[in-house]
C-alpha cells in the first residue's frame, strides 16, 4: 500500500508535468499568432529580437536537461541568428518534452535519476522540489512577457483573444491532453 507521502509526491509529479505542458503551449500559441515580420524586427536599444528570446528559452531548457538529467537526450541548441519560427516551435516542443521527463523523474516520487536541479554551471544545485518547477516557469513567463511587450512596441500587437487566451488555463490544460480538471485526478 502506498504511503500518504508517496501519493502526494506522485500527484505533485503529475501536476508538474501538466503545468509545464501548459506553459509550453503558451509559447507555441505566441509563435503561432505572432506576425512573421515581428520575428526578426529590431527592437529599440540593445534588446533581443523575438527570435533571440525564443531561441534563448529553448537553449536554457537544453542546459537544464544537460546539467540536471544528462541521462536524457539533450535537445540540440538553436541559432538565434538563423532560427525560423517553425524551427523554434519544433525545438521548444522537443525541449519541453525533455523538461517534462526531467520533472516527472524529479518530482514523481519514483526514485528517478534526478536528485538535484542545476540551473546553471555557476549556481549551486538545489534539491529537487517545487522550487525547481517555479524557477523554470518564472524564467519562461518573464520571457513571454518580453515577447508580448516587444510585439506591441514594434507595432505587431497580438490579438486580444490570443493575449487573454494565455490566461485560460482550463483550455490550455485541455489542449495539452490533461485528464479531468486542474488540480483533480480523473
In 3-state terms, what secondary structure has residue 126? Answer: strand
pTM: 0.90
pLDDT band, residue 56 (cuts 50/70/90): very high
For residue 1, being part of any structural domain is answered with: no
Give the CATH number of the domain where residue 16 resides: 1.20.120.450
The domain of 86 spans 7-175
For residue 120, being part of any structural domain is answered with: yes
pLDDT band, residue 98 (cuts 50/70/90): very high
For residue 183, being part of any structural domain is answered with: no
61-93 pLDDT, tens per residue? 999 999 999 999 999 999 999 999 999 999 999
* Average pLDDT estimate for 54-58: 98
Domain count, the chain: 1
For residue 186, being part of any structural domain is answered with: no
For residue 147, being part of any structural domain is answered with: yes
Q: Which residues contact 58 (CB under 8 A, 6 or more apart)?
A: 75, 77, 78, 88, 91, 92, 95
Amino acid at each position: 500500500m502506498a504511503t500518504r507521502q508517496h501519493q502526494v509526491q506522485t500527484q505533485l509529479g503529475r501536476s508538474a508535468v501538466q503545468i509545464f505542458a501548459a506553459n509550453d503551449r503558451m509559447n507555441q500559441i505566441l509563435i503561432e499568432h505572432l506576425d512573421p515580420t515581428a520575428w526578426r524586427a529590431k527592437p529599440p536599444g540593445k534588446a533581443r529580437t523575438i527570435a533571440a528570446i525564443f531561441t534563448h528559452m529553448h537553449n536554457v531548457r537544453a542546459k537544464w536537461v544537460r546539467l540536471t538529467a544528462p541521462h536524457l537526450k539533450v535537445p540540440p541548441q538553436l541559432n538565434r541568428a538563423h532560427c525560423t519560427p517553425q524551427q523554434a516551435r519544433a525545438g521548444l516542443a522537443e525541449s519541453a518534452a525533455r523538461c517534462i521527463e526531467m520533472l516527472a523523474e524529479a518530482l514523481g516520487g519514483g526514485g528517478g535519476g534526478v536528485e538535484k536541479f542545476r540551473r546553471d554551471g555557476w549556481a549551486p544545485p538545489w534539491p529537487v522540489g517545487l522550487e525547481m518547477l517555479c524557477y523554470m516557469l518564472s524564467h519562461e513567463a518573464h520571457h513571454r512577457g518580453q515577447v508580448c511587450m516587444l510585439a506591441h512596441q514594434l507595432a505587431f500587437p497580438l490579438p486580444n483573444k490570443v493575449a487573454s487566451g494565455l490566461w485560460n488555463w482550463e483550455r490550455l490544460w485541455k489542449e495539452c491532453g490533461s485528464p479531468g480538471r486542474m488540480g483533480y485526478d480523473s
